[in-house]
Structure 1
Amino acid sequence: MNKKLIVVIGAGPGVGNHVAKKFGVNNFRVVLVSRNQVALDQYVKKLSSEGIEAYAVEADAASPASLTEAFDQIKKNYGTTDVLVYNAAIVKGGKPTSLTAESLVSHFQVDVASALHSALQVIPEQVEQKAGTILLTGGAAALYPSADYTALSIGKAALRNLAFTLAEELKPQGIFVGTVTIAGVVAPGTHFAPDLIAEKYWELYEKREEHEIVYS
Structure 2
Amino acid sequence: MKQPMIWIVGAGCGIGLGIAKTFGKRGYLPLLITREESLLEAMKQALIEQNVTAEGTVAYAGDETSLRNTLNELEQQYGVPDVLIYNASAHTPGYPSEVAPSDMLADLQVNVIGALTAAQCVLSGMRTRGTGSILFTGGGQAIHPTATLASLGVGKSSIRNLALSLHDELKNYGLYAGTLTISGFVQPGTAFSPDVIGEAFYRMHQQKNEAEVIIRP
Shared topology, TM-score over 0.5? yes
2:93–2:99: 8 Å Cα contact kept in structure 1?
no
Partner SS for 1:179:
strand
CA shift digits 1:109-155 (9 cap, x unpaired): 10111100000000000000111000100000000011100011011
Counterpart for residue 191 of structure 1? 191
| Per-residue deviation, 1:197 | 1.5
Partner SS for 2:60:
coil
2:92–2:107: 8 Å Cα contact kept in structure 1?
no
CA shift digits 1:21-53 (9 cap, x unpaired): 111111111100111011101211222333323
The amino acid that maps onto 2:140 is A
Partner SS for 1:98:
coil
Number of residue-to-residue matches in the alignment:
216
Alignment map for 1:1-216 (pairs within 5 Å): 2-216=2-216
TM-score (norm 2): 0.96
> 2: CA distance between counterparts of 1:134 and 1:72?
16
CA shift digits 1:155-209 (9 cap, x unpaired): 1011001000001111111110011100000011222111111111011011111
> 1: CA distance between counterparts of 2:121 and 2:213?
25
CA shift digits 1:59-100 (9 cap, x unpaired): 001101111121122112211111000001114311111122
> 1: CA distance between counterparts of 2:17 and 2:91?
18
> 1: CA distance between counterparts of 2:156 and 2:131?
26
RMSD: 1.2
Partner SS for 1:81:
coil
1:28–1:53: 8 Å Cα contact kept in structure 2?
no
The amino acid that maps onto 2:215 is Y
TM-score (norm 1): 0.96
Partner SS for 2:97:
helix
> 2: CA distance between counterparts of 1:46 and 1:53?
10
Partner SS for 2:187:
coil
> 2: CA distance between counterparts of 1:66 and 1:211?
29
Gaps of 5+ in 1: none
> 1: CA distance between counterparts of 2:91 and 2:116?
19
> 2: CA distance between counterparts of 1:48 and 1:70?
24
> 2: CA distance between counterparts of 1:49 and 1:188?
18
The alignment-based identity, stated in percent, is: 34
2:92–2:99: 8 Å Cα contact kept in structure 1?
no
Gaps of 5+ in 2: none
| Per-residue deviation, 1:16 | 0.9
> 2: CA distance between counterparts of 1:140 and 1:46?
28
> 2: CA distance between counterparts of 1:31 and 1:79?
11
Partner SS for 2:181:
strand
